[in-house]
Amino acid sequence: MSMSVSLRRKNRPQAFYQGRPKMRLYLVRHGEAVSEEVNPERPLSQRGRLDVEKMGRFLRRAKLKVDLIWHSGKVRALETAQILGGALFVKDPPVTRQGLAPLDPIKLIENQLRKREEDLMIVGHLPFLGKLASSLVSGSSSPDLVTFQAGGVACLERLEGGSWRLEWILSPGLL
């Protein structure tokens, strides 16, 4: 991938990449959950819910558009998906998708992403999200290349040539 850097106003660097975005993929780690001792289903904690709501408000103000939301089916992922879907006015309800559990292999989802063109949000878990993001961007599934805080969002873009780039990453603590 070829990249050049120029300076914008206020001397901020801005990167220009070859290729235009063909698809945006938003990877979201579920918000903070209660412990298994408190509730074996591990729904969002009060703090987790507040963090995800804050993230949703921020993303709505940023005019983020999502066509579809997938989630793992675990309660904390479903709740996170519902909160973000409501904040972003996503037309269809979040869809439970097989292959998004914490220890699932990433190849199934990687293959499905190759066939998609609409902007998609996936709400899931570690280490799956870190491995998926790393594999898409670098070809290596090392989970430490991209890290996620609870309630954090990473935006990846697939370019016309099929390569992926990490556009940005946010955590609730930054908002």
Q: What is the pLDDT of residues 97-143, one digit of tens each?
A: 999 999 999 999 999 998 899 999 999 999 999 999 999 999 887 76
Q: Which tokens sit at 59?
A: 């993303």
SS3 (DSSP) at 169: strand
Identify the band that residue 20 occupies on the pLDDT scale cut at 50, 70 and 90: low
Instruction: Show the CA angle centred on residue 96, arms to residues 95 and 97, nearest 5°.
Output: 105
SS3 (DSSP) at 122: strand
Give the N- to C-terminal CA distance of the chain in Å, as an integer.
31
Return the domain boundaries, the chain: 20-174
Answer yes or no: are the C-beta atoms of 130 and 144 closer than 8 Å. Answer: yes
Lowest mean pLDDT among 34-48, 75-89, 135-149, 157-171: 135-149
Hunting for tokens 């001397």 — which residue is that?
11
Mean pLDDT of the chain: 89
Taking 60 as the threshold, does the pLDDT of residue 45 lie above it?
yes
CATH 1.20.120.1200 describes domain 20-174 = no
pTM of whole model > 0.85? yes
Q: Which tokens sit at 166?
A: 């990490």
- CA dist 139 and 159 (Å) reads 15
Q: What is the DSSP string of 94-128?
A: PEE-TT-STT--SHHHHHHHHT--S-EEEEE-TTH
User: Which residues touch 87 (CB under 8 Å, ≥6 apart)?
Assistant: 53, 56, 57, 59, 60
Paired with 4 in beta bridges are 16
